[in-house]
Structure 1
Amino acid sequence: MEKITLNIDGEGSHDFYALEQTVVAGKTYLLVTDSEEGDGEALILRDDSDSEDADALYTIVDSDQELRAVGQIFVKLLDEDGIELDL
């Protein structure tokens, strides 16, 4: 798992571990967790940066409809790797 550090406005930086990545309708999504091993809290992040931006700008996906759609893709991708995801 790749470790990534995200700077969260007003909260400093936090380390996450990238589980999977996918692209839907031209937007890149990351599935990350706060734990390198075992059960952890998972988040789906959407890359909202422009292609010319030096740094990526990730937004936590909180729309129920978007979470369901992208989450189902991640469930299928992780299932192929033998990882169970409970959304």
Structure 2
Amino acid sequence: MSDNNEKIVFTTEDGEAFEFFVLEETKINGKNYLLVADEIEGEEANALILADVSEEESEEAVYEVVEDEEQLAALSKVFTELMEDLDIEING
């Protein structure tokens, strides 16, 4: 990812909007994943790993939070390797 971290807005099914910074992205087995956080700096930032669940022909991307603990642990390792200075703590 570039140093100017892209900021994106996610909208829930209820219409509630949340802004996140994209820290890193990767593609594994043909599926896109994003590591996002509500803050770029600070130890209290909340981070999420999101999986792209969009239909191929969809114009808008649809992401879901990765909640499966095994998948989350594996993806955390991948993102940690991609971002050497990142320390991801999994709460679950």
Flag whether TM exceeds 0.5 (same fold): yes
Shift of the alpha carbon at 1:84?
Answer: 3.3
Aligned ranges 1:7-46 → 2 under 5 Å: 7-10=11-14, 12-39=16-43, 40-46=45-51
Question: Residues of 2 paired with 1:5 and 1:36: CA distance?
Answer: 15
Is the CA contact (8 Å cut-off) linking 1:4 and 1:15 kept in structure 2?
yes
Question: Residues of 2 paired with 1:61 and 1:14: CA distance?
Answer: 17
Aligned-residue sequence identity (percent) comes to: 35
TM-score (norm 1): 0.89
Task: Give the aligned length.
Answer: 85
Shift of the alpha carbon at 1:11?
Answer: 5.5
1:54 partnered with 2:41: no
Which runs of structure 1 show a deviation greater than 2 angstroms over 4 or more consecutive aligned residues?
82-87
Q: For structure 1, which runs of at least 5 residues remain unmatched after alignment?
A: none
- Whichever structure has more strand as a proportion of its residues is 1
Question: Residues of 1 paired with 2:89 and 2:83: CA distance?
Answer: 11
RMSD, matched Cα: 1.3
Shift of the alpha carbon at 1:83?
Answer: 3.4
Question: Residues of 2 paired with 1:54 and 1:11: CA distance?
Answer: 18
Is the CA contact (8 Å cut-off) linking 2:76 and 2:88 kept in structure 1?
no
TM-score (norm 2): 0.84
1:75 to 62, 66, 80: 80
Q: For structure 2, which runs of at least 5 residues remain unmatched after alignment?
A: none
Give the structure, 1 or 2, with the largest relative contact order (CA under 8 Å, sep 6 or more): 1
